[in-house]
């Protein structure tokens, strides 16, 4: 585990050069994948990205009481994160249009983290630590790399900052910090269950394991506050959207129109309807919503009139 996770010893230079080359390339691949809205490209960046190594290495250093390697691993996580954010920002400078959640599904999926993301990260971190502990399950590491989202959220931070969407950048950063905290916490638990501290080669532990565990646990608990708020908002938006849809369908059908889409946005529930002239009354839809007990739901109505005209030939 020491050789796999830590960047010291005679091969430190080789390990560090591989880390930085892979990280920069992963940042470039992820930025390109996000900008082009390509899931396959983003997955490729996840497999290449080496950030999980120093994160699990941080947990390993805590468990073994190795202070120098603890600071070295944490430094790599922090500096690597900054480098990827800068790569995303520079990549955004080359693009003619803003890369934001409203027009890009890769960004949209990473700027509203919730408690489900935390649960997934805890499980993924446990699998990653388990795979390092057990050589017979090391083939699962590519799957772990895909399951945990580390480099793509950092690229989203850089791209959205360059696009002027600071709120979305904050959401992507919270997702990254959630994943880091979850990996650290679950890796500590798995290593403790395997009694890694009992086989430590560090003669005099310089890190208090219990104190470090408390700090990491508090960090994760603090992250649960914005995640809980986001989860509540997502749940409300989903319920509002599902309640508005049938009312809007009945209103449109009565006027001979059809509903094109019902979606959630920062403005509220957006309803897009199309049909022939004359347009149906928006006030009638508002009355129907109020009668259905949805008076507190803000709805943005997008009416798209259409007309069918026959142009017979001679």
Residues 275 and 152 in one domain: no
Least confident of 111-115, 142-146, 299-303: 142-146
Of 189, 207, 225, the last residue of a domain is 207
Question: Tokens representing 104?
Answer: 């890009």
Which residues, including other chains, have CB under 8 Å from residue 109's CB and lie 6 or more apart?
none
Residues 193 and 244 in one domain: no
- Annotate 169-220 with three-state secondary structure: HHHHHHHHHHHHHHHHHHHHHHHHHCCHHHHCCCCCCCCCHHHHHHHHHHHH
d(CA 224, CA 230): 10
Residues 67 and 195 in one domain: yes
Q: Are 274 and 302 spatial neighbours (Cβ–Cβ below 8 Å)?
A: no
> What does DSSP assign to residue 264?
E
Residues 67 and 113 in one domain: yes
pLDDT confidence band for 268 (50 / 70 / 90): confident
Residues 194 and 256 in one domain: no
- Is the residue at 314 inside a domain? no
- Is the residue at 214 inside a domain? no
Least confident of 7-16, 113-122, 138-147, 235-244: 138-147
**Average pLDDT estimate for 220-238:** 93
Q: In which order are the strands placed within the sheet that holds 299-305?
A: 258-265, 268-275, 299-305
For residues 181 and 145, the model is more confident at 181
Q: How many helices, marked H, and strands, marked E, lie in the chain?
A: 12, 3
User: Which structural domain range is residue 45 located in?
Assistant: 2-207
d(CA 73, CA 5): 9
For residue range 150-173, list pLDDT tens digits in order.
899 999 999 999 999 999 999 999
- Is the residue at 226 inside a domain? no
- Is the residue at 195 inside a domain? yes
pLDDT of residue 90: 95
pLDDT of residue 144: 63
Number of domains comprising the chain:
2
Residues 7 and 150 in one domain: yes
pLDDT confidence band for 179 (50 / 70 / 90): very high
CB atoms within 10 A of CB 40: 8
- Is the residue at 220 inside a domain? no
Closest CA relative to residue 58, chosen from 124, 131, 6: 6
Mean pLDDT for the chain overall: 89
Could you tell me the pTM of the whole model? 0.85
- Is the residue at 231 inside a domain? no
Whether the pLDDT of residue 142 is over 60: the answer is no
Residues 201 and 244 in one domain: no
- Is the residue at 70 inside a domain? yes
d(CA 54, CA 198): 21
Residues 294 and 175 in one domain: no
Residues 289 and 158 in one domain: no
């Amino acid at each position: 585990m020491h050789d796999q996770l830590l960047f010291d010893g005679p091969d430190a230079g080789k390990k560090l050069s591989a880390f930085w080359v892979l990280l920069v390339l992963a940042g470039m691949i992820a930025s390109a994948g996000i900008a082009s809205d390509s899931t396959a490209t983003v997955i490729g960046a996840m497999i290449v990205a080496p950030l999980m190594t120093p994160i699990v290495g941080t947990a390993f250093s805590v468990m073994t009481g190795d202070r120098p390697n603890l600071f070295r691993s944490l430094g790599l996580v922090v500096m690597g994160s900054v480098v990827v954010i800068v790569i995303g920002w520079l990549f955004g400078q080359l693009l003619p249009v803003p890369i934001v959640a409203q027009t890009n599904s890769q960004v949209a999926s990473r700027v509203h983290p919730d408690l489900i993301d935390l649960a997934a990260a805890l499980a993924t971190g446990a699998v990653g630590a388990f795979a390092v502990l057990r050589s017979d399950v090391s083939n699962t590491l590519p799957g772990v790399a895909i399951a945990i989202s580390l480099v793509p959220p950092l690229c989203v931070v850089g791209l959205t900052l360059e696009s002027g969407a600071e709120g979305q950048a904050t959401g992507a950063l919270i997702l990254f910090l959630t994943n880091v905290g979850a990996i650290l916490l679950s890796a500590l638990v798995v290593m403790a269950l395997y009694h890694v501290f009992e086989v430590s080669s560090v003669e005099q532990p310089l890190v208090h394991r219990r104190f470090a565990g408390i700090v990491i646990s508090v960090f994760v608990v603090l992250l649960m506050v914005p995640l809980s708020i986001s989860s509540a908002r997502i749940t409300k938006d989903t319920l509002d959207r599902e309640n508005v849809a049938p009312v809007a369908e009945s209103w449109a059908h009565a006027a001979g129109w059809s509903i094109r889409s019902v979606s959630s946005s920062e403005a509220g529930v957006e309803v897009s309807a199309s049909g022939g002239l004359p347009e149906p009354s928006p006030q009638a839809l508002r009355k129907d919503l109020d009668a259905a007990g949805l008076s507190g739901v803000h709805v943005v109505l997008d009416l798209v009139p259409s007309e069918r005209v026959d142009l017979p030939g001679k």
